[in-house]
Structure 1
Amino acid sequence: MGSLALFFRLVRASLDSQARYPASALMLTLGQLLGTGIEMIAVWALFHRFGDVQGWRIGEVAVFYGLVNCMFAIADAMGRGFDVLGTDFLRTGTFDRLLLRPRPLALQLMGHDFRISRLGRLLQGAALLAFGAVQTDLAWTPQAVLIALFALAGGVALFLGIFVLQGTLSFWTVESLEIANVLTYGGVQAAQFPLAIYAQWFRRVLTFIVPLACVAYYPVLAILDKVDPLGAPGWVGWVSPLAGFVFLAAAFGVWRFGLRHYASTGS
């Protein structure tokens, strides 16, 4: 069996196990949908009270919000194995069992626990993306669809890379550190708004260290056909999602370094 076929079989097995308790799966999915939906209500209240924010309308922010949440929902579903690496594998010693299997280790972890509840965030993100498109009279031309799909893929790669780095830390800390949530959930919160509203030092962090702006801000500007108030040329949005794949490759480089220093449980 090829690696891709094995991954889909692992995903199907994970979904089948969750489907055995449909009420639980449904409530978790609804919880994700309502939990993230409340955040958008807060954003709506902000714009309803103060109007535009530095020239950005609620429809434009909704496009940012929807696209970023779709990225994170897919990456969160795929990266669950890295998220629980310390507690579910390293502390129990079952990580050694994965090492003995003649299959890519990363693939086994990505297919370990494909959470159906993340569908709630994905649906909410898609709904907000549609809302933003209506509010901004966005024309889904072939070019806009292509940029959106490229940005989505780059964003999934970026967030998955963050989960990989979080799992790598577990080789030394045994448990996943809460500081990693600054880059995952905190990154989602930061990327949901236009880069231009932030201070210069924070814009540099989101562009050159954790390139969230490259997978969200610049592509959305290209989708909306909007001039960047920071002065970036229009073609940047076409190529910037590549930064997400570069970040994922770098994360797996750190992962291989951590894997070489793994010394088992000692038990």
Structure 2
Amino acid sequence: MWVRASRAYPVSWAMLVVGGFLINIIEFVGIWILFQNVDDLGGFTLRQVAFLYGGTGVAFALADLVAGRAERLGQMIRLGKLDQMMVRPVPLLVQVCADEFALRRVSRVAQAAVVLAWGCGAVDWTAPRLLLTVLMVASATVIFVAVFVALACVQFWTIDAAEVANAFTYGGVTVTAYPLSIFPGELVKALTFVVPLAFVNWYPSLYVLGEPDPLGYPGWTQWLSPAVAVLFTAVAAVVWRAGVRSYRSTGS
């Protein structure tokens, strides 16, 4: 329904997509400008950083397209929309994620995909590296979807805490767009063991790009992204179920 609504005015939709693409590309232009003053960033060249940026960008854009509306859960609760969804014969989470689905967000997917394609020029491709790249993007998408859902559930118990989720989703994609070697080791460890967003692209990219791990972790950690995605999904499912079971109608 929402796709049909957005396509009702094709020229307007096309302008929104093109505009979104141009606005998002400015983010990478900022990185390009940075490289006009430095030869590398944390030991990574511009094309290698483009691979990192594109990998996390495509995954986040796909997750935002599919589940980004979950961050508006608090608003749905206040307006009584969640109560309406609960009486419909469709899974509640599907309805939450599909509400006001914005097809124009494909512009961010396209922008990140272009940067990723250019960054792939920095890779000496082999079959394992190609496989890990595909697994990286797929796993990162699942991880971001799980983060969207799990952190949105905070709003079942608070008035409105969308900013909490944004700190990990939008903040996470910003941090992982750069080599984690430029950040303090404590932050990298936190992104590995506490909120493992480092598995979104950092560890797989080390293998694909042929770069050593600054923290010296075993090589098999670079293949753990699918396992982390499964774990995050399980956690998100448990949190979502707990939130729905504890929900009490606002009466609105």
TM-score range, shorter chain: over 0.9
Shift of 1:159: 1.1
Among the aligned pairs, what percent are the same residue?
A: 38
2:227 counterpart residue number: 242
Note the 1:87-98 alignment, pairs <5 A.
Answer: 87=75, 89-98=76-85
Shift of 1:122: 0.9
1:156 counterpart residue number: 141
Consecutive unaligned residues in structure 1, runs of 5 or more: 1-12
More displaced, 167-176 or 248-257?
167-176
**1:43, 1:59 → 2: CA distance?**
11
Shift of 1:220: 1.0
- Give the conservation status (yes or no) of the 8 Å contact 1:68–1:192: yes
Distance verdict in 2 for CA 1:152–1:54, change over 3 Å? closer
Post-superposition, which runs of at least 4 consecutive aligned residues in structure 1 deviate over 4 A?
none
The letter of the residue matching 1:82 is A
Shift of 1:62: 0.5
Distance verdict in 2 for CA 1:242–1:25, change over 3 Å? farther
Note the 1:1-267 alignment, pairs <5 A.
Answer: 13-87=1-75, 89-134=76-121, 136=122, 138-267=123-252
- Give the conservation status (yes or no) of the 8 Å contact 1:80–1:112: no
- Give the conservation status (yes or no) of the 8 Å contact 2:67–2:97: yes
Shift of 1:37: 0.9
- Superposed CA deviations along residues 167-187 of structure 1, whole A, max 9, x for unmatched, are 212222343432321111111
The letter of the residue matching 2:192 is T
> RMSD of the alignment, in Å?
1.8
- Superposed CA deviations along residues 146-194 of structure 1, whole A, max 9, x for unmatched, are 2122111211111112211332122223434323211111111100112
The letter of the residue matching 1:67 is G
Distance verdict in 2 for CA 1:171–1:191, change over 3 Å? same
- Give the conservation status (yes or no) of the 8 Å contact 2:152–2:162: no
- Superposed CA deviations along residues 240-267 of structure 1, whole A, max 9, x for unmatched, are 3321231122122112111111110124
- Superposed CA deviations along residues 54-93 of structure 1, whole A, max 9, x for unmatched, are 3211111100000100001100011133122222x21221
**1:114, 1:208 → 2: CA distance?**
33
Provide the aligned length of Structure 1 versus Structure 2.
Answer: 252
Secondary structure, aligned partner of 1:110: helix
**1:24, 1:183 → 2: CA distance?**
32
Distance verdict in 2 for CA 1:114–1:145, change over 3 Å? farther
**1:24, 1:237 → 2: CA distance?**
43
More displaced, 199-208 or 172-181?
172-181
- Give the conservation status (yes or no) of the 8 Å contact 2:144–2:169: yes
More displaced, 43-52 or 113-122?
113-122
Q: How does the TM-score come out when normalised to structure 1? A: 0.87
More displaced, 184-193 or 227-236?
227-236
- Give the conservation status (yes or no) of the 8 Å contact 2:142–2:233: yes
**2:176, 2:78 → 1: CA distance?**
33
The letter of the residue matching 1:42 is G
- Superposed CA deviations along residues 204-255 of structure 1, whole A, max 9, x for unmatched, are 2211122111121011112223222321233322223321231122122112
Consecutive unaligned residues in structure 2, runs of 5 or more: none
The letter of the residue matching 1:200 is G
Q: How does the TM-score come out when normalised to structure 2? A: 0.92
Shift of 1:29: 1.8
- Give the conservation status (yes or no) of the 8 Å contact 1:211–1:244: no
Secondary structure, aligned partner of 2:157: helix
The letter of the residue matching 1:220 is S
**2:33, 2:191 → 1: CA distance?**
26
- Give the conservation status (yes or no) of the 8 Å contact 1:63–1:133: yes
